[in-house]
Structure 1
Amino acid sequence: MYRLRSYVGQLSLVALILLVAGPAEAVEQALNLELLPPTSTTNRVNISVSSSGLSDTELTRVTGNSLATIGYDIYEGLPLIHSIAFTGGHISLLGESSDNVTLSDSNLISNFSVVGSGLGGELDTPNPPGPVSDGTYNTADHIVRINTGTLAASGSFLFVPFNYDINLDQDPLDFTTESIANIDVSLVGTNGRQRTYEVVTSLPIDATEVIEDAVTITVDVQGTVTSSDTFSIFLPLEGDYNGDNRVDIADYTVWRNTLGATGAGLAADGNFDWVVDEADYTLWKDNFSETSGGLRLASVTVPEPSAAALVAIGVMAFALAGRMRAYGPL
């Protein structure tokens, strides 16, 4: 499997399905990421419960899917991710021996038992997502919300019995954490201008929630949630700068009118290097009269760039350098 890495640095890639007629612009794209099957190291998390000096831990299985929205630009023809936010889906927490998560402990003066039934939830990003750089992002803005099922707590403390249920649908547990998560993308197929990728996200969880009721119960969750999806990109017709599925004089006009512009999502940035320059003119000229169906148009004289335009090309790199620094190291 080919690991997609740019020669300008490790570019963060993300799942998207693009049906484009012209060069790609900065966009947001929704993802549906299926959790990988639980193994000894994948999608198994430790849930620990402690109360009154007693504690117990169970290793649980995590199944389901997560929904996410990513923002990206195109650089050198590849998606460059700048943000990711989780927006839902559903994950289930299952015990090792049954669907219930059961934890208990006891001594001479106190004991407790906590049984989690039908535990499930979702990933959420209530705040604006933090930046993605070099395929990693901080999880501080992301929450694991357990909002389905019940926790049944019972036992005694100093010989005083207690017994109560927590309905997580009405009183969910929110686990927040701060660690570094990863997005990894691999090219898995090519068909003409279509490129298909597999994306894998790994989200570390290390968080604590305190429940105050008949007794105080502390719940700790530690582990990593890993999910994957596939997506396709359909590359545009080279030199088609106005998005009409043909390369003609109208595209030259778009190039001429934006010559020297820098930044992401420029219509006449045919090679996606975030600058409209002579290379984009050459790309247009080499593909002049092509159409999306592979046909050639009637012959027309191709205009040449003016001397003033060529001088402008020589100085635009300074403006581009400043814009690129705003994205951090590639």
Structure 2
Amino acid sequence: MDATAANLLLDHHRDHARDLPWRMTPRDPYRTWLSEVMLQQTTVATVTPRFLRFVERWPTVEALAAAPDEEVLGEWAGLGYYARARNLIACACAVAARGGFPRTEGALRKLPGLGAYTAAAVAAIAFGEDAVAIDTNVERVAARVFGIGDRKAAGEAARGSFPAGRHGEFAEALMDLGASICRPKAPNCPACPIAAQCKARALGSPEAFPAPKVKRVRPHRYGIAWWARRGDEVWLVRRPGSGLLGGMAALPGPEWGEERPAANAIAIHRHGFTHFTLDLMVVPCAEPPPGEGWWQPVGELASAGLPTLYRRAVEAALEAEREPRLAA
């Protein structure tokens, strides 16, 4: 993409930029960082209301750092990829301890949980550094403009297109173009300000770029979630701080495995993780299993901070109690 096309895209972005709550003027590094963490593998539509709740509850990084971990993890519940929440807490504490966010990509990269993309995005967008932030939208736009099938190669090819002194604005222009016009399916090429430079459009096959990812068969696992009731209360526990769903509220149960347990479940919730699928079998028990936990009123389960896996399992169990049936 040459300088003329880059300017056309920037001009288009000034008139059509998405109105997002983290795009303040001047940019707040806390909001920029928080939004970038939340948006990893999560849509803008899902993130926007959750972002607003976060900044209303913790308006500064210092406030977030001072919050109890359980409250932050509970507020994160439902956003998925829970390692992000643990990294969020660690990073907030590190930033508060040093008195603010560092202003360079290299220094940001040293903070807990900040990968190459997030560090570049915060440096470019919040601090105006000439750092190159390449996300999946940018990769897709670049793949089509340059006619490159491989996503990563397309992203690397895009690096030379970022105009000096405007890396943050240009990154957001590419991201918005990828989200609203150069969509994965049915791209709106007539509305694209740089369509004349797009090799994929010239070939008549923009949707063929980038090449689709090879889908891998995910292994399947099984798990038991113990269902202990005391009147209108359910026994919940907190998962260990590390590992999958670390630190999140949950129904108690043993480690998941590849063998289907011989258990009389009242409900089964099938859940898809990034690397495997899981059948979580909800099994009644007369008493809570040994270990720390608490009785959560059924009417207040929404405030328990259950991740989607356990929230759906609880919903299935409650439905089974209302209409008894053997889970298939």
Shorter-chain TM-score: what band?
under 0.3
User: What is the TM-score of this pair, normalised by structure 2?
Assistant: 0.22
- Higher RCO (CA < 8 A, seq sep 6+): 1
Q: Which has the higher helix share?
A: 2
Q: Which has the higher strand share?
A: 1
